[in-house]
Amino acid sequence: MVPGLLSGKQVVITAGPTYEPIDPVRFIGNRSSGKMGFAIAQAAKEAGAKVTIIAGPVQLATPTAVRRINVETTEEMALAVEDSLEACDIFISCAAVSDYRAIQVQQEKIKKTSEQSIQIELEPTIDIVSTVTNRHNKPSFVVGFAAETHNLTEYAKSKLARKKLDMIAANLVGENQGFAVDDNALHIIWTDGEQTLPLMPKTQLARELMTLIIKRFYAKNSI
């Protein structure tokens, strides 16, 4: 990482899962360790940026000199993002946000019955990154992630367009790759190009991704 490339720039990153409560002891959430987002925060800091990480429930140390805001639900994450966007140059949406939440959160623990099935009605959560890209004064460069089990490139390309992103980092999730492991590979797609970053430790992958983001950020914003 070339130090100073992002000096004077502000980077906001979401990381980890969000948890949506069902009752006081249970929740719906995604599998996510937050490792990729925290590694990106570290790489952005090394490049000289002022970095804010908005983290769902994860057990990770905050990189030195990175501002951290802890959240639990998607709504809390959306509010923290909103509060952090002023003067944000690059927004990186790495969080594995829960797509649904219970319409009614039970105030008491749901008791288990061995005979009957139960139903929990769910509603979609707010799409944080789409809210960001639809803002009037949106950050100059917005990066999303797509974790898929199949049709990786096709789904990622459609998300790039639908969510109005400048770049999307797509990864296959499965055995030894993706969630909760230290290694990952990414297929990076932007509006007029793409590049594959092969399987490597997330710390190194984050630096390579950051290098690409910086290149595309300046290519877009120097015109």
Positions marked catalytic:
30
3-state helix, strand, coil in the chain (%, to 5): 25, 30, 40
Task: Identify any residues that bridge with 53 across adjacent strands, giving them in sequence order.
Answer: 13, 68
Q: Which is nearer to ligand C5P, 49 or 81 (CB)?
A: 81
By CB under 6 A, tell whether 17 contacts ligand C5P: no
Q: Which of 11, 88, 95, 167 binds ligand C5P (CB under 6 A)?
A: 95
Which part of the chain contacts ligand C5P (CB under 6 A), choosing from 59-67, 82-90, 143-151, 214-222? 143-151
By CB under 6 A, tell whether 85 contacts ligand C5P: no
Which residue from 11, 18, 59 is spatially nearest to 35, judged by alpha carbons?
Answer: 59
Q: What's the closest the beta carbon of residue 112 comes to ligand C5P, in angstroms?
A: 30
By CB under 6 A, tell whether 160 contacts ligand C5P: no
Size of the site for ligand C5P (CB under 6 A): 14
Give, for 90, the enclosing helix (H) or strand (E).
strand 90-93
State yes or no: 145 annotated in a binding site.
Answer: yes
d(CA 10, CA 98): 26
By CB under 6 A, tell whether 101 contacts ligand C5P: no
State yes or no: 111 annotated in a binding site.
Answer: no
Q: Which of 43, 44, 146, 213 binds ligand C5P (CB under 6 A)?
A: 146
Task: Identify any residues that bridge with 194 across adjacent strands, giving them in sequence order.
Answer: 189
3-state secondary structure of 129: helix
Q: Which is nearer to ligand C5P, 6 or 167 (CB)?
A: 167
- The sheet carrying 193-201 orders its strands as 67-70, 50-55, 10-15, 90-93, 141-148, 167-172, 183-190, 193-201
Task: Identify any residues that bridge with 55 across adjacent strands, giving them in sequence order.
Answer: 15, 70
Q: What's the closest the beta carbon of residue 117 comes to ligand C5P, in angstroms?
A: 27
d(CA 70, CA 44): 19
State yes or no: 202 annotated in a binding site.
Answer: no
Q: Which of 128, 167, 212, 213 binds ligand C5P (CB under 6 A)?
A: 128
By CB under 6 A, tell whether 55 contacts ligand C5P: no
Residues of the shown chain interacting with ligand C5P in the complex, contacts defined by CB under 6 A: 14, 74, 93, 95, 97, 99, 125, 127-129, 144-146, 159
